[in-house]
Amino acid sequence: MMAGDAHSRLRRMFREFLLISSAHFLALLSPGQDFLLLVRTSLRHGFRVAAGASAGIALANAVWIGVAIFAIGRVREWPVFMRLLQWAGAAVLVYMGWHFLRVQPAGAETLSGEKQAYGEPGWKKAFVPGLLSGLGNPKNGLFYASLFSVGLSPETPLAWQTACGIWMVAVVFGWDLFICALTGREATRRALARWQWRIEQAAGALLIVLGVAMALSS
C-alpha cells in the first residue's frame, strides 16, 4: 500500500510538472517588454552583452517565483480563498490566451525598437536593465502566482515546488540566450516579424485550453 501511494504521488507530481512547464513555455513565446529589451541589446551590442540582460531577467523571474511559492503556501491555509485564487489563475491564463489570439502582424522595425543607451557596452551594464525589466513587470508575479495556485496541489512538497521553480528559471535563461543568439541576424529578425503573430496565436489557443482544463480540475 505504501509503495502504491508513493507511486501515485510521483505520477501526480509528474503530471503537475508537465502542466505548469507547458503553460510556462507557451507564455515565453509572446514578445513582451523583456523580449524587446533582449532583441534591442543583441542587435546593438552583440550576444555577450545581451547574455547579461538575459541573466538579469532570469534572476527577476527567480524572485517572482520565490514570492509566488511563499504566497501560495500561506494562502493554502484558507481553502475558500485558495479555490477563488485557483479560478482567478485559470482566468488569467484564458485572458492571456485571448490576448495572444488578437495580435496582428507587425513590421520588422517593431522588433528592433528604440535605441537603448547603456553607455559603453558591457555585460554588467546590460544585467541591471534586464533585472529591472523583469522585476518591474507585475504580470510576471501574477502569472507565476496563477500557475502555482492552479497547477500544483496542496500536497505537493515544497522541495518539488522549488525544483519546478528552478526548472522554469533555467528555461527562461536558456530561451533568452537562444533569442539573443538568433536576433543578432537581420534575416532572423525579419522572419520573426513575419511569423511571430502566428506563433502567438497558436500559443494563445493552447493557453486557453490549459486554462479551461485547470479550471475544470481545480
pLDDT tens for 13-36 read 888 888 888 888 888 877 677 887
**pLDDT of residue 1 exceeding 80:** no
Average pLDDT over residues 172-179: 94
Q: Per the structure block, which three cell numbers stand in for 129?
A: 536593465
Closest CA to 64 of 149, 137, 173: 137
Structural domain harbouring 91: 2-217
pLDDT tier, 78 (very low <50, low <70, confident <90, very high otherwise): low
Closest CA to 164 of 61, 52, 65, 77: 65
User: What's the Cα-to-Cα distance from 172 to each of 71, 106, 152, rounded to whole Å?
Assistant: 21, 24, 20
3-state percent helix, strand, coil for the chain, nearest multiple of 5: 85, 0, 15
What is the structure's pLDDT at 120?
47
Provide the 8-state DSSP code for 154: T
Contact indicator for 128, 56 with CB cutoff of 8 Å? yes
Least trusted range by pLDDT, from 14-28, 31-45, 63-77, 187-201:
187-201
What is the secondary structure of 15-39 as a DSSP string? HHHHHHHHHHHHHHTS--HHHHHHH
49 vs 190 pLDDT, higher one:
49
9 vs 60 pLDDT, higher one:
60
Q: How many domains does the chain have?
A: 1
Give this prediction's pTM.
Answer: 0.68
Average pLDDT over residues 76-95: 68
What is the structure's pLDDT at 27?
83
CB hemisphere CA count around 75 (13 angstroms): 19
